[in-house]
Amino acid sequence: MNLLKNEIYPEDLIKEIIYNIETKGYHVIENFLDIIFCDILKTKLQYTLNNYKVKSVSKRSELDKYHMHDLLSKDFVFSMLLEDPRLDQIIKSVLCSNWIMYSFTSSSLPPKGDNYGSRIHVDSPRIILNYPTNFGVIWTLDNFTIENGGTYVLPGSHNSKIEPTENIFNNNSVQIVCKKGSFILFNARVWHRGGVNNSSEFRHALTMNVCRPYMKQRFDWVRFIPKSITDKLNEQARRIIGFDTRIPSTIDEFFQEDEKRLYKSGQE
């Protein structure tokens, strides 16, 4: 599967995405990923879930048992998503040209259950008027249906400082249902939650939170992901991981020629 061959979207679609993001706070593109590729990703995700061991010293480890945080270090196939030129085109249109990845996680709803993402929440605590700092991305690896929970968003809530009550959210939220292989983009200030899976099968998805290049990432991804994986990636994916926004650890690393600097100049 070569995502590098994907053609970027026409300008009209990008304008529609920008409009929906600014007004509703989210946009859905169906048929973004090939179904066969979805099944490959889902098989590898399920294997990781099956082998996950909760760390007894951390309550968060138990809460996140259906959110795998280290998939990019497990298999090159997950990192391939970062090479997609359409991904870069879309995020650049709503955030900034040198955006990077804050986190890359899975979100799996177990049969007859939910996960930590099923609480009402936002993915970014910051609200700066006309200056978004983070966006969320969801790649759906299964159909998002009413039965298996899909995901719920509160349209327009990214424009308000008010935290919605449970009643407000429930009365005004929209359940996103879409096809397997869809791409969901949302402002990280949009209040949302995963649904409850009432089906007998897992509902799988991959998620990513993206941010501006000067912001701290959840992990030191450059060191976190094995070189055996990052060395294979193209320039775009390496930038997203954080190779152009590293912090020097010695004075010699700081005083380098421009093309060798760990933190590239001219980034927004």
pLDDT digits (tens, 9 = 90+) for 72-115: 999 999 999 999 999 999 999 999 999 999 999 999 999 999 99
For residue 30, name the pLDDT band (cuts at 50, 70, 90). Answer: very high
Asked whether residue 3 carries a pLDDT value surpassing 90, the answer given is no
Residue 268 has pLDDT above 80, yes or no: no
Among residues 119, 143, 102, 29, the alpha carbon closest in space to that of 66 is found at 119
On whether residue 267 sits in a domain, the answer given is no
Residue 174 lies in a domain: yes
Per the CB < 8 A criterion, the answer to whether 182 and 160 are in contact is no
Residue at 172 is within a domain: yes
* pLDDT above 90: percentage of residues in the chain: 90
Instruction: Centre a 10 Å sphere on the Cβ of residue 197 and count the other Cβ atoms it contains.
Output: 24
Pairing of strands 183-187, 26-29: antiparallel
pLDDT of res. 266: 81
Number of C-beta neighbours around residue 108 at 10 A = 25
Q: Domain for residue 112, yes or no?
A: yes
Average pLDDT over residues 3-22: 94
pLDDT greater than 90 at residue 27: yes
DSSP letter at 248?
Answer: P
Provide mean pLDDT across the span 225-254.
96
Cβ-contact 144, 183 below 8 angstroms:
no
**What percentage of the chain exceeds 70 in pLDDT?**
100
pLDDT of residue 258: 85
Query: Looking at residue 46, what is its pLDDT?
Result: 97
Average pLDDT over residues 137-148: 98
- What does the block give as tokens for 91? 């995020």
Task: Provide DSSP, 134-191.
Answer: EEEEEEESS-B-TTT--EEE-TTGGG-SSPPPHHHHHHH-EEE-B-TT-EEEEETTS-
Alpha-carbon distance of 21 to 190, in angstroms, equals: 10
**Interval 261-265 mean pLDDT:** 89
Average pLDDT over residues 225-237: 98
Residue range 231-238: mean pLDDT, rounded:
97
The stretch 39-57 carries a mean pLDDT of 94
Q: What is the pLDDT averaged over residues 162-168? A: 97
pLDDT category at 5 given cuts 50, 70, 90 is confident
Give the CA-trace dihedral at 51, 47, 151, 237, to 10 degrees. 110
Check whether 69 has a pLDDT greater than 80: yes
- For residue 195, tell me if it sits in a domain: yes
CA distance 40 to 77: 8
* Tokens encoding 86: 């359409």
Cα 68 to Cα 74: distance, rounded to the nearest angstrom: 10
Average pLDDT over the chain reads 95
Cβ contacts of 255 within 8 Å, gap of 6 or more: none
Count up the domains in the chain and report the number. 1
| pLDDT for residue 135 | 98
In a domain, residue 265? The reply is: no
- Looking at the domain assignment, is residue 268 inside a domain? no
Each residue's pLDDT tens digit, 118-136: 999 999 988 898 899 999 9
234: domain CATH number is: 2.60.120.620
Higher pLDDT, 265 or 18: 18
- Per the listing, tokens 């010293």 go with 57
Cα end-to-end distance, the chain, whole Å: 32
Whether 206 is in a domain gets the answer yes
List, edge to edge, every strand of the sheet that includes 151-153: 174-176, 151-153, 192-194
pLDDT of residue 109: 97
Structural domain including 120 reads 3-260
CB neighbour list of residue 257: distance below 8 Å, 6 or more residues apart: none
